[in-house]
Amino acid sequence: MKEEVIIRLVSKQSDLPDFHSHNFFHSKEMFCIMEHTPSLEPCMAIAEDGQGCVVAHMLVGVFRHRTLFPPFVYWHGRAYGEGEYDDSVNRDRVFCLFLKAVTDYFRHKRCLYVEFSDLSCKMFGYDGFRRNHYFPVKWQEVHNSLHSVEPSLRLSEKMLRRISEAKEKGVASFAIKEDSPELRQAYRLLKRFFRFKPRRSIPDIQFFRMIAASDNCRMNVTCYKGRVIGVSVCVYSEDNAYMWHMASLRKTHHSLHPTTFTVWSAIDNAHKAGMRHIYFLDAGLPFERSRFRDFILSFGGKQVSKYRWFRIGVPGINRLVDRLL
């Protein structure tokens, strides 16, 4: 007979039990960052055995969005991956229990929609998602391998020439910390870059101050004559790098190729840090043609077909979208 596990949800850091974490997106540190950021609310799903020991955990978050046209405030639920599990438990079974609990939590928070991404494999949790009325969207996830071949050897002559020209003109890239004067410039650039992309709204600057201070993250800026023309935010977790946010002044500084320089700097830094892969978290939009995805692939990356799972808070619309897809 299988030993039962107890599922509970924790929304305050002071109530978190003791457990070890290897994945930054499901760590106590990430929970703390979210808890101290306005407009973000963390929720840690905890699974405990009969002795009260934590055997699995999964961090999800609720993000508040504001739109100007039309003026509107809404919430959405978000999870990166399925969490972390002890070898003694059935991952699929416990994940289904987690999913039921956090879906009820999202419903209580009146989230307009919920999104699960970056699952370990395409079919993971399929039955559980379906039972909880999520629908899948095919997604082309993009990543670069950093351990088999020197990343620069994957670049075309055109890419190498652009990077070299930018350096000759005085473009430079470097990491910033929470007290760096460039951080506010970088934050304004991110806000402007994503202001018309509501699904990718940018959290409060406090979020990026704590990210810049973390040993598990690297916030990099691309500068020209003292002005920030590019920014990337990468997470280093379990020997892999994840490009979480990226923005650049690609139109006003086109001749300096800020997007190319910013992405290449992130790849190069991850390689020097000993990461095995770098994943681009929002480069795989589910369209037949995607200029950004094609651009990222030009750095020598690979794409893998996976699912992202969505659930819309209005049941009728959720069922309609599910049928259309």
Q: Is 105 left (phi over 0), alpha (psi -120 to 50) or beta?
A: alpha
Q: What is the pLDDT of residue 292?
A: 85
Domain with CATH 3.40.630.30 in the chain: 6-132, 142-304
Going residue by residue through the chain (325 aa), what tens digit of pLDDT does each one get?
A: 356 899 999 999 999 999 999 999 999 999 999 999 999 999 999 999 989 999 999 999 999 988 777 778 999 999 999 999 999 999 999 999 999 999 999 999 999 999 999 999 999 999 999 999 999 999 988 999 999 899 999 999 999 999 999 999 999 999 999 999 999 999 999 999 988 776 677 999 999 999 999 999 999 999 999 999 999 999 999 999 999 999 999 989 999 999 999 999 999 999 999 999 999 988 767 777 778 888 999 999 899 999 999 999 999 999 999 998 7
In words, the CATH class of domain 6-132 is alpha beta
pTM of the model: 0.93
pLDDT at 198: 66
CATH of domain 142-304: 3.40.630.30
pLDDT at 30: 98
Peptide bond before 151: cis, by omega within 30 degrees of 0? no
What local confidence, expressed as pLDDT, does residue 261 receive? 97
pLDDT at site 201: 78
